[in-house]
Structure 1
Amino acid sequence: MEDVIRILKQYSPIVNTHMVDYFTKNSYEDSVPPEIKGEIDKLGYDKAVDYILNKEYSENVPNLNNFIETVLKFTLRNRIDICLNVDQLKQNFADLGCKNVSGLHLNVFMKPKKSHEVEILSEIAASLKTYGNTSHLVDIGDGKGYLSSLLSLHYKIPVLGIDAAEINTVGAIKRVEKLGKYWHGIVGTNKSMLAKSETKYENAYNLLYKQITQYITEKTDLKELVRNIFVEEISCIGIVGLHTCGNLAPASLKIYVNNEDVKMLCNISCCYHLLSEKSYDNDSESNTGFPMSQFLLGKQFYLGRNARMLSAHSTDRIFNKKELPNRNIFYRAVLEVFLSEYFPDLDTKEVGRFRGCKIEFGVYARKALKRKKSDGFEGVKLNLGCMQGKL
């Protein structure tokens, strides 16, 4: 942990650099250590990018070599002492005496990435449930009910899905109804799967998967919520969550630690930039989401919003695809120069995301400035010639 803190502090200017501010804050010149910057300048930017993405080594760039080697050492993939692969995790479960459960790859009503996540996490959660000897699970941040649906329909586990947004709760209900309607046909292709269950699939979701809309805090009594919804006897409960957003993840951890009725926790968090982080300037600021570690609190460790946002990015995907960020990010950085120079008094320069196919800078700029006009700032006028000069 000490080594991680040291590295993060050393390269804090880099990890807390936002791409939007790349030009306006002169990020490359001010944040990259001069010895590394000098080697990149000699190597050439394009070659340096290829060099980093391919994890190559050369005697001509010793400082860049050292940087790549150091940061790779602290990636989760290379820290096998704290991060296990799925097979290792399953073996650990077996050593603990967890019941061996049969997973199901569900490739309907969800995208491949989500299907992959749900398949793995549902199997892990079902195994942990047997070890924790819990009667019910609570899915905190239930969203569209992807995880809860599979836990209830396939593993026959009673699940209470809780989400703060009613629109998500309604969506989860509709989705599981549709899934339950076609469930028999979905698993019917797997004869061994079908033979293991006598349950009427079309009725399973009504009995096992319930949904409510409620905002969860660390003081929420989950067992009482479950007791109010399910009629059968409740012993202990477990907490599950897939992509629990921002402070919802630390709230789940606090509920687990402080409540003896909660015997199991299986949670994958996301949106770390939405975590509230302790600033240490305000002694009364106690209910923050990060850090929770007493060790980090004792060090008065501060990570920063941009660093937390970067931590949610998949380095494996970056190295596998060897692709640079979307060109729209470059366009956004250029637009920031324009807005900062000509409209410095704007309360916010946020323009949101533009999804879909690749677009030219002129199209991007028009859409962005149109959004600023809709925010009530009528002074924004398009001067493409001026902005093209920034490219």
Structure 2
Amino acid sequence: MAFSSMSLDSLKKKIDEVRGFLSVALRIANAHTVDFYTRDVWRAYMGMDPEEVLTAVNSGCDRTGAPKVNTTYGFCDVSKKLVDVPALLRAAKAHSLPGLGVCVQRQRLMETLRVMGRDTKDGMSEEPLLPDEFMSSKKAHEVPAMAEVVAALSRCCKVKQVIDVGSGKGYLCSFLSMQYNLQVFGIDCSSTNTRGAQERNRKLKKFSRAYQKHVQFSSNHEVPNEETRDSWENADEREERMPDHQIPTFQMQKEEEKNGAKEREQIDMAEAQCSLSPDQKYTSPSDLSGTREPSELTNTDIENPFFTALAPDIVEQSFPRVPPSQLSTEERERRKRENLERKARNGKGKSDNKNLYSPLTSYVTAETELRKLITELEDAVMVGLHTCGDLAPSTLRMFEAKQELRAVCSVGCCYHFLSEKFDEDGHECESGVYGFPMSRYLMEQACFCGRNARMSACLAMERVTVGGGLPMESLFYRAVLHVILQDHYDAHKSERRVGNVYSKASSFVDYVRRALRKLELDELKLTDSVIQSYHDLYISRMSEMVAFNMLKVILAPCIEGLILLDRLCYLKEQENVFYSALVQLFNPLLSPRCYAIVGMKEPGAL
């Protein structure tokens, strides 16, 4: 493998190092916060006070005092309790992905792909899109970075199709199709996401064409002023500026329905300006009684971003429009013929369909037959941006199994939704395809991680260390509630999930009562004073939970590292994979799940 970033044997040694460390430390990550007080987790795992732990973690000191017992990674060899936090901190840092030195820098990957494919960036749009015009700041950081890598993979493999699994709202798909002229198929299991992506892509396509026309016109005449730039940057701001986790698709659609009539009318007007022949002008249904000259455009027209982005020549050369019902048959035929001729001149015939984003709704697994979903499928690059749970390993398995998939770029997330092949005792679960482990190497060792540990892997250490913090009060409330449930109600009831009760509660007493009602338990069994007494009893021990969860945060990169190294090992074990690497694509402060698995099969003749 001429361009491999690391040999398989070297990778296995790194995996062994991580597993050796986690075999000692993983028990902390697998402790459940809900059981924190009922099982007295602190005293079971820790041989020091919480204040000592927090001091060592916050200061990052190398030594607070030599332990008086033999330790392994800071854990006492006899009691198995943590007695040396600085030693644990050093070990965790050394066994994270940066500490292991297994990642390829993004710039180095791009250089490698340029060498392999003699990259010339053919097909890229002349004018770069400004992603913050229609995305949140997080997506505006992620999408261009990943799109550049995906485009380089497509050029290296000499393909023009991209398949995005778990495409969600379609940000990456739209950007790839508009910026790099790729034919993109976005597959998502949610029909709601697919419908939302179709509507959003329609708007972005119209905006992009208008934006490109305006840029072209301005380059030939004059530089757009600040007011015009501001209007571009505000396009679709209501819909796209908020972070993704704060705008579920159904909320966006509800908001769109609320303002839909007015917005659709404005959008349709802008689309008509782009598509009608020069001797036509579209007027809204409310304005059919007469037409307006360009100088008579209202403030609403001017402020609308779709109008503002239109090239001035389109707006100024408009003429009154006669309703279709009043046109003669000959006139309708003439205009239809002119429209077809204009589309042909502008290259908007059949060939333009190659550069479209096509959202599809389907539940995808490694066994999915892509050709049944995509009838026009050719050789393609498969991508996934923050694919959830088992979808990320399924993406890699599809890439390996299907010859038409020439390259893959996968960024996973939601590790707690991964399925595991083995249990804690090394026993194999029911037959089937599981998300972890993927590699033959870890399967032979019956590697087990655990759901709580995988959930810990989702914690964002970089954000916490710069003051992001953890939702400690909600975790504290849930742990104390568990004590109440075990003291006063059937034990099996306490295992049921409470859900997001905390966000609606005004106090601990209110929280408990809401939780009891959700669990269908008798809330009148306890008085307010009894409930409050539990809070007052355990509040002095909240520092234990804070310190313990900080240790989980510290271990998070190591657990994530093991999962990602397993995926990389899987690709390196495949004979038909020519190149594979683990690449940091994003800034972890902006996007905590920042690592991509990149793989490529033997490229075509160079």
Tell me if TM exceeds 0.5. Answer: yes
Alignment of 1:267 onto 2:413: no
- Three-state SS of the structure 2 residue aligned to 1:142 is coil
Q: Find the partner of 2:473 among 289, 310, 327.
A: 327
Of 53, 57, 63 in structure 2, the residue corresponding to residue 52 of structure 1 is: 57
* Matched residue type, 1:250: P
Contact 1:245 1:269 in 2 (8 A): yes
Q: Could you tell me how far 1:5 is from its partner in structure 2? A: 0.8
Partner in structure 1 of residue 24 of structure 2: 10
Identify the match of residue 94 of structure 2 among 70, 73, 98.
Answer: 73
Give how far 1:185 is off. Answer: 5.5
5+ residue gaps in structure 2? Answer: 1-14, 68-83, 221-345, 536-606
What is residue 350 of structure 1 aligned with on the other side? 497
Q: What residue in structure 2 maps to residue 316 of structure 1?
A: 462
**Cα shift readout 1:239-285 (whole Å, capped 9, x = no counterpart):** 11111111111111111111111101011111111111012534752
Comparing 110-119 with 143-152, which one deviates more in the overlay?
110-119
- Distance change (3 Å), C-alpha of 1:276 and 1:359: same
**Partner residue of 1:154 out of 179, 182, 197:** 179
Matches within 5 A, 1:225-236: 225-226=373-374, 228=375, 230=376, 234-236=377-379
Whether contact under 8 Å (2:117, 2:157) holds in the other structure is: no
Spell out the pairing of 1:292-307 with structure 2 (5 A cutoff): 292-307=438-453
Between the aligned partners of 1:243 and 1:321, the Cα distance in structure 2 is: 24
After TM superposition, give the deviation of residue 170 of structure 1 in Å: 1.0
CA shift, 1:204, in A, is 7.1
- For residues 403 and 500 of structure 2, what CA distance do their matches in structure 1 show? 43
Task: Report the CA distance shift for 1:345/1:306 in structure 2 as closer, same or farther (over 3 A).
Answer: closer
- Partner in structure 2 of residue 140 of structure 1: 165
Q: Does structure 2 retain, via aligned residues, the 8 Å contact 1:223–1:261?
A: no
Residue 420 of structure 2 is aligned with which of 277, 280, 289?
A: 277
Q: Is the 8 A contact 1:98 1:127 kept in 2?
A: no
Give the one of 497, 510, 530 matched to 1:386: 530
Are the equivalent residues in 1 in contact too, given 2:56–2:86 (CA < 8 A)?
Answer: no
Evaluate the alpha carbon distance shift between residue 385 and residue 192 of structure 1 in structure 2; reply closer, same or farther with a 3 A threshold: farther
Q: Is 1:20 aligned to 2:31, yes or no?
A: no
Q: Does 1:177 align with 2:198?
A: no
1:323–1:210 Cα change, 3 Å:
same
**Deviations 1:314-339, CA, capped at 9 Å, x for gaps:** 21212222624442122222222222
- Give the match for residue 370 of structure 2: 222
**Aligned AA for 1:92?**
T
Classify the secondary structure of the residue corresponding to 2:169. coil
1:71 is matched by which residue type in structure 2? A
Q: Give, in angstroms, the shift of residue 340 of structure 1.
A: 2.6
The letter of the residue matching 2:446 is Q
For structure 1, which segment, 181-190 or 62-71, has the greater mean C-alpha deviation from structure 2 after superposition?
A: 181-190
Shift of 1:154: 1.5
- Cross-structure match for 1:87: 107
**Which amino acid counterpart does residue 155 of structure 2 have in structure 1?**
T
**Cα offsets for 1:182-218 (capped at 9, x unmatched):** 22466679779999xx988xx9799511111111121
Task: Give secondary structure in 2 for the equivalent of 1:242.
Answer: strand
Call closer, same or farther: CA 1:360–1:86 in 2, change over 3 Å.
Answer: farther
Structure 1's 218 and 4: CA in aligned 2 closer, same or farther, altered over 3 A? same
* Cα distance change on mapping 1:283 and 1:167 into 2, 3 Å: closer
Percent identity of equivalent pairs: 30
What's the C-alpha RMSD, in Å, of the aligned pairs? 3.1
Instruction: Specify whether residues 165 and 79 from structure 1 end up closer, same or farther in structure 2 by C-alpha distance, changes over 3 A only.
Output: same
1:276 aligns to what SS in structure 2? Answer: coil
Quick check: which has more Rg, 1 or 2? Answer: 2
What secondary structure is seen at the aligned counterpart in 2 of 1:210? Answer: strand
1:164 to 2:189 alignment = yes
Distance 1:151 1:193 in 2: 25
Q: How far did residue 56 of structure 1 move?
A: 2.2
Contact 1:240 1:267 in 2 (8 A): yes
Contact 1:335 1:387 in 2 (8 A): no
**SS in structure 2 of the partner of residue 11 of structure 1:** helix
1:346 alignment partner, SS class: helix
| Corresponding residue for residue 339 of structure 1 | 485
1:99 and 2:99 are equivalent in the alignment: no
User: What secondary structure sits across from 2:38 in the alignment?
Assistant: coil
Contact 2:505 2:511 (8 Å CA) reproduced:
no
- Verify the 8 A CA contact 2:188 2:360 in the aligned structure 1: yes
Q: Aligned residues, how many?
A: 368
Give the match's secondary structure for 2:131: coil
The one of 213, 216, 222 aligned to 2:361: 213
Instruction: Flag the structure with more relative contact order, 1 or 2, with Cα contacts below 8 A and sequence separation at least 6.
Output: 2
Query: What is the TM-score when the length of structure 1 is the normalising length?
Result: 0.83
2: CA distance, partners of 1:271 / 1:320: 22
* Cα distance in 2 between the residues matched to 1:272 and 1:132: 30
With structure 2 as the length reference, what TM-score do the two structures score? 0.55
**Cα distance in 2 for residues equivalent to 1:389 and 1:98:** 71
AA of the residue aligned to 1:215:
Y
SS for the counterpart of 1:220 is coil
Question: CA separation of 1:126/1:59 partners in 2, compared to 1, >3 Å: closer, same or farther?
Answer: same
For the structure 1 residues 93 and 312, does the alpha-carbon distance in structure 2 shift closer, same or farther, using more than 3 Å as the test? farther
Determine helix, strand or coil for the equivalent of 1:241.
strand
Q: Give me the whole-angstrom Cα distance separating, in 1, the residues matched to 2:218 and 2:131.
A: 13
Structure 1 gaps of 5+ residues are none
Which segment is superposed worse, 92-101 or 142-151? 92-101
In structure 1, distance between residues paired with 2:219 and 2:399: 35
Task: Give, as a single letter, the amino acid of the residue that structure 2 aligns with 1:388.
Answer: Q
User: 1:294, 1:277 → 2: CA distance?
Assistant: 14
